A and B are shown apart, each in its own frame.
Chain A
């Protein structure tokens, strides 16, 4: 609304106010920042249509576009356990020991951003703003090594392992995947610092470095990372094959294992902006 007012109230053609339309493309390096992440790597790109109006050295840029990211993260090893009675009737703590837990995410966002900037010099500018985006398409795949053990108070040692008859299976690779449930609505502050290259009187090329940190909004993250609901837990009949088949994983982005995660992007943007300002020819008339 404010922007519209600024837009409508700006006199068309006044030399102090200019209007631009453009398109920008960016390549980003993306990271999910969160606890329990052992490592993270990712990247993507952005494409935006921009409108910008400028007054002297100040300008406002509004963009609409898409943001596509591919990320991969590894979790720290973790253990999930259950108190059970083993096949011989002895109480034990049955432990799932996950290692090398790794998830890849592919997310396509729709994005709206607004930036306020200023020219620092004829060529350098700085702008800052924010964007809001929302996932349009979001999937994940999971891979982890898992071995199961049993911990007993009666027996010496931390746990008993490699006793398949007792469900203590040796380490093996487990897979999962699916859609990320969360809409991935984020709001991110953006900072951009760029260099303006006039291509002509009417066109500018801007090359900029930018960074933005997306905060998730309304992300419940209530799911457990591992879904055992379909696994056979009968100690007499369970098996590793069943575990292989029926052990499910949720996305870390949906699970409580990654509380308070954020998404950092750092990229290079190239923007083309065309001057669509309707300039009035100044009258050098004498009192008409």
Chain B
């Protein structure tokens, strides 16, 4: 509850800060407080004589928020009071300019003052250009009357006679001149009736900006007050003051209703204003007396459920209502005009029952142990009569004793009229036929008929002399009527009052209604028998044992018995007014125990979890009348009326109500609620625990996504969407919790879609769903699809697809070159597809021997990779990357093999051998050899040489050389065994010659490339030639 208030108050203050009154002042701002001029006096002497002064401080304030208010104190701001030793007045004003126009000036005020009305607040607006008056704006500590300018510039009526904060709403028509808003507290000499003036929450408001709510009504059931009203504002704020405790509560809502729980019965002041955007409306006031229906056996305080009648005094004895007009006349308890109204002030005394000075106590309008009483009739003369009727269904056990308490005030002339003309008070109980219940003799007991000044029991009436007229008043009297004979029937309880028929004297009454069970207080509680019984007070009594009715044990309202006496005792509860009117109650010392039971129902409102608890407590008694072996606790029909609830969130209340409602936070949670049931003034107690597991009723923000086709309209939450939109909408859930809707609307085209695309051959097949089937496309061409897409928008898709052929390049896996060569010349042929460029990325081992990291070639360009100088023969991995213009590049690994040059070998002619030279072995550390003939290993040829007898002409030979520490070897360049042909052409000569190896061995023809010596036979010239 508290948390909710804080939340609401924050919102309230937030709302307030966005409000647009012309002027607003709650005295909380230091800067604003400085603007006020308090207690101006003409001179120092006047200032010294000023006993009552205005202060802006924190001794009181109005409303649920804030601390400061403007008030009068006569003791230097120690307390709110005033000195009425002599007449004086004191000013407090605020310079301001109200623009031209009609405004409402709203403020909260509190002021009592003398009954004569001489002590009151006046509100004025004095323009600055009235210099004459401006000169008189001073307080006076000794002035017999307020100055004339107060009357001249007073805006509205004076304010007094309020003991609780009131709300003033006065209209003011401004001509736009700057001036001063002045509050004047003036009092006459005499006895001060505190409190003096208190002012808070001043607003100057453009009332047309937002209309005031109206038609406020309420329902109070099961601990929940449902307030409803008319109005068209965007939101409303409600301030409630509990007139009994003075506490303030605040609420906000966007609807035209508010559900408020956790307020006790009593008098409340509701102030309701609307907000149109940020503009506030004036407050509408509503001051109901809150009574929860269903909490009493008769909701006598709910006047709109009763039948009220008004009529003429002469018809008071009519059984029917035909002579009466129906309708409750209620202007509040203080109004003389009210004829059916509720009094609720606990310490209010009827002034008509007091002497003129008001010094001696008179009739309390509300009995001490009652919440409120109904007043029927008024103190206005005019031969009026009032009637009020309640329907009551008699339930067995629960409330078969109807207790009517009444007090009567009747004026009588000193010379009394005839009894039938005197003011009257009547109580009748009618059956369902409209006839008085019971026999004639019963009626004496279950009805009442008093005429002012008449009756045997006049000794019990008080008399007050009021201005020559006698006022007879009877203090609160109780009639208890046993309705046990009418169980199941619906009776009508009718109360009637009337003035004297002559029209000169009034009569009215106060009453309360209650039900009782035939219970005696002091019943044994707990396991110990009781020794003390009490009957309801206000009667005469006769106590006796059930089996000895003739022996009167006591005539007091109580009886004491011996301990462990579990006999049954009866008490005759005898009406004081008629000893023949009595009912019986039975008591025994048998111990009783309360049994606490409770149920609950869950609901939600205002973004809170609302739990309605219903207690079903009962009383059991220990029946020891049975045999010892079967003695046990038996349930009784008695009810527990004294209960306390611990709601598990720190809130504890005591109540007599069977139903209570409590609000829990919207996030829910687990709460242990405990109900305590008490008997015998809490001598014993039972409790029951109710475990609540409340849901989280907060709503999250959520997103609504919708897709529309071009040209379509989608309506959501009352709004039409035709375009792509991203909207935010506020939403209040069933539980009153706010959340945000985010509305995302996507628009999809229907227009035909042309798709022109290229697919790489490697990504084939291309799957295309044409609306019906899935096509597996492997050829370039045009394709068509007709779709209703998932957003249900139909569209035609024209697909033109160009298939880029799969790249195919013919290239060897390995390319070889002799180490004494110049470059790799890697052949390649583009078989299919398009090629943009080729890159060769050399592996790390190639980089280590001097190759470049990357070689690039354009299409058609020979792929020539130069050999680094002194490249070490070996097999080097490289990655060839074929870059296509459109598709993903293809890669292929190639091995670039640098073979040992044929210079690692040499030949021996004369059918010698071909072999590896020792210096090459020293250089490369060959350890293993294998000779190949035409690429095929020669079996057993694992020596570093191969005899020429093993060579065949025309075949190519190479040796595969493995170096020390390696497992893989590299071959030498091939040699073709045979006679070199065309030697003449190589030598470019026709001269005769002989050819020798470098070692001088004559050879017919070289079979290995290398250096040779040619000796020309014509001149024996010798020179070296290199034969490839």
Contact = CB atoms under 8 A, between A and B. Distances in A.
Interface in B867-915: 906, 908-913, 915
Contact of B913 (A153, A154, A163): A163
B999 A166 contact: no
A166 B908 CA distance: 10
Interface stretch (B64-72, B717-725, B939-947): B939-947
Contacts of B917: 154-156
Contact of B916 (A87, A156, A162, A165): A156
Given A89-B1000, A89-B1001, A155-B944, A160 B910 contact: no
Classify the secondary structure of B's interface with A. Answer: mixed
B920 interface: yes
A154 B949 CA distance: 20
Interface in A121-163: 152-157, 160, 162-163
A88 interface: yes
Identify which of A88, A90, A154, A165 gathers the most chain B CB atoms within 10 Å of its CB: A88
B918 interface: yes
A140 B913 CA distance: 40
Given A156-B926, A162-B949, A88 B913 contact: no
Nearest to B922: A156
B307 interface: no
B945 A165 contact: no
Interface residues of A, number: 16
A156 B944 contact: yes
B921 interface: yes
B191 to A, nearest CB: 144
Interface in B916-932: 916-918, 920-921, 926
Given A156-B920, A156-B921, A88 B912 contact: yes
A88 B915 contact: no
B236 to A, nearest CB: 112
B926 A163 contact: no
A156 B945 CA distance: 8
A8 to B, nearest CB: 78
A162 B908 CA distance: 13
A163 B944 contact: no
Contacts of A90: 908, 999, 1001
Contact of B944 (A153, A157, A162): A157
Nearest to B915: A155
Classify the secondary structure of A's interface with B. Answer: loop
A166 B997 CA distance: 17
A154 B918 contact: yes
Contacts of B1000: 88-89
A90 to B, nearest CB: 6
A160 B913 contact: yes
Contacts of A166: 908, 910, 912
B1001 A88 contact: yes
B918 A153 contact: yes
B943 A157 contact: yes
Nearest to A153: B918
A155 to B, nearest CB: 5
A88 B949 contact: no
B1001 A163 contact: no
Nearest to B1002: A88
A156 B1001 contact: no
A150 to B, nearest CB: 10
Contact of B947 (A88, A153, A156, A163): A163
Contacts of B918: 152-156
Contacts of A157: 915-916, 943-945
Contacts of A163: 908, 911-913, 947-949
B374 to A, nearest CB: 137
A88 B944 contact: no
Contact of B912 (A153, A154, A156, A165): A165
B999 A155 contact: no
B915 A160 contact: yes
A234 to B, nearest CB: 14
Interface string B649-673: 0000000000000000000000000
A162 B947 CA distance: 7
B29 to A, nearest CB: 111
A199 to B, nearest CB: 70
B557 to A, nearest CB: 142
B945 A155 contact: yes
Interface string A152-195: 11111100101111100000000000000000000000000000
Nearest to B926: A156
Contacts of A89: 999-1001
Given A88-B999, A163-B947, A156 B910 contact: no
Interface string A42-72: 0000000000000000000000000000000
Nearest to B921: A156
A154 B926 CA distance: 15
A58 to B, nearest CB: 71
Contacts of A160: 913, 915, 945, 947
Interface string A72-88: 00000000000000011
Contacts of A162: 947, 949
A154 B918 CA distance: 5
A88 B943 contact: no
Interface string B412-428: 00000000000000000
A242 to B, nearest CB: 18
B921 A165 contact: no
B729 to A, nearest CB: 95
B996 to A, nearest CB: 10
A147 to B, nearest CB: 13
Contacts of B947: 160, 162-163
Contacts of A87: 910
Contacts of B909: 88
A153 B915 CA distance: 12
A87 B913 CA distance: 13
Nearest to B961: A156
B911 A165 contact: yes
Identify which of B913, B921, B1001 gathers the most chain A CB atoms within 10 Å of its CB: B913
B900 to A, nearest CB: 12
A127 B943 CA distance: 62
Nearest to B908: A88
A164 B911 CA distance: 9
Nearest to A166: B912
Nearest to B916: A156
Contacts of B911: 163-165
A153 B912 CA distance: 16
B289 to A, nearest CB: 128
A89 B996 CA distance: 12
Interface in A89-104: 89-90
Interface string A13-25: 0000000000000
Contacts of A155: 906, 915-918, 944-945
A215 B173 CA distance: 166
A87 to B, nearest CB: 5
Nearest to A165: B911
A156 to B, nearest CB: 4
B208 to A, nearest CB: 120
B542 to A, nearest CB: 150
A17 B654 CA distance: 160
A88 B945 contact: no
Interface of A: 87-90, 152-157, 160, 162-166
Across the A-B interface, give the 3 residue pairs with the lowest CB-CB distance, nearest first. A156-B944, A88-B1001, A157-B944
16 contacts: A87-B910, A88-B910, A88-B912, A90-B1001, A152-B918, A154-B906, A154-B917, A155-B915, A156-B926, A157-B945, A163-B908, A163-B911, A163-B913, A163-B947, A164-B949, A165-B911
Interface of B: 906, 908-913, 915-918, 920-921, 926, 943-945, 947-949, 997, 999-1001
Given A154-B918, A165-B910, 15 more contacts: A88-B999, A88-B1000, A89-B1001, A90-B1001, A155-B918, A155-B944, A156-B917, A156-B920, A156-B944, A156-B945, A157-B916, A157-B944, A160-B913, A164-B911, A164-B949
